[in-house]
Chains A and B, each alone.
Chain A
């Protein structure tokens, strides 16, 4: 039976909790270029390399979404000078640790892929850090899991 070790990616990029959202956005871009795949989630580690959180595309989109957006409705006169500039300005002062997700689910390298599959489906998550002895060894992405499993279905 396949385990996390067989399907995880062991090269990954990490964010510092003290990074601003602007710096985090930069790392999302450079990590995607380096890995030749679009990165939608990054792990956050402290100075000793311990996993303390994750930051996903959704966290950043929530940050960008304007307040009171429910009022916008079907209006066509939404042309507020400086709206994006305002968001960019806040992206310099809000930190990764302020908005990262901290209640994390992790697995070990020996966790069965079937167990990982179940977590991903029931908890609606697309990536899970693989941790051993407090150290992050890799990340399992739902897409890699899928392609490993369809290989079993159609060898």
Chain B
């Protein structure tokens, strides 16, 4: 990881700058099956679970639903039996830096935002894609951004720019088509991954299985012993080259449906790592060193 603990673009930003005010919640007495339908329909990673008065009592993420699948729980099980409780909150005026740190140390993907005590209604949510989106907007407005440089046909400055390889996780967990869904769930849980690469008998990458694919398999009643190949969708492996500019990769991730790209070296078959939105958020300093160096020029306290 890059040595950028201080002086980052996020330094002066607060949760309220990045949070989304719309989030999805469901009452805890609804069955898991309803929860899955909402997760899929609204393309969200987690649901806020509420009590009879609409107050937050927990969170059910795709990971929790996947765990229920693994434990062979009935789809009729109420959501409040698999939720993680209590939900973790932050305040709209917390710094984004500290929020990212909480997300990292607690190994969670999102924090709900509440104005006062945690028993109050939530007013929003902040997750890795929101933070990356904010960084992207920030960078895009900068003279040094790739977009602006390309439009103005400016040269140089690329040395300052982060590449995919600077932020990626340099290892890949992969499974074979014949591996069972329960083995894949074990692999995802142990490594805290959102998806794994699937290879055929010749070790050629043939697809990706994500938590979303697994909770759909759960809803459709597919056996945990079924092979990975049975739920492999037609979509190909989304990959990017390790030397690609991170700015380009982030844009593609945000605007398409994926939370991660597999990273290849030289040829697409040679997958060497994964770049996730979480990795990108941890870069913290946008997509190049330009703003960092300009800050050093502006004031001495920035160098600290």
Contact = CB atoms under 8 A, between A and B. Distances in A.
A67 interface: yes
A71 B133 contact: yes
Nearest to B255: A80
21 contacts: A66-B257, A67-B129, A67-B257, A68-B255, A70-B20, A70-B130, A71-B130, A71-B133, A71-B134, A75-B137, A75-B140, A78-B255, A80-B251, A80-B255, A87-B257, A89-B234, A90-B235, A94-B216, A98-B37, A98-B220, A102-B37
Given A78-B255, A90-B233, 14 more contacts: A59-B41, A63-B41, A66-B255, A67-B257, A68-B129, A71-B129, A71-B136, A72-B255, A80-B252, A87-B257, A89-B234, A95-B220, A98-B37, A99-B40
A67 B130 CA distance: 11
Contacts of A68: 129, 133, 254-255
Interface of B: 20, 34, 37, 40-43, 129-130, 133-134, 136-137, 140, 147, 216, 219-220, 233-235, 251-252, 254-257
Nearest to B140: A75
B219 A66 contact: no
Contacts of A66: 255-257
Interface string A61-93: 011011110111101011010110011011011
> Which 7 A-B pairs have CB atoms at the shortest separation, nearest pair first?
A71-B133, A93-B233, A80-B255, A99-B41, A89-B235, A67-B43, A68-B129
Contacts of B257: 66-67, 86-87, 90
Contact of A98 (B40, B137, B147): B40
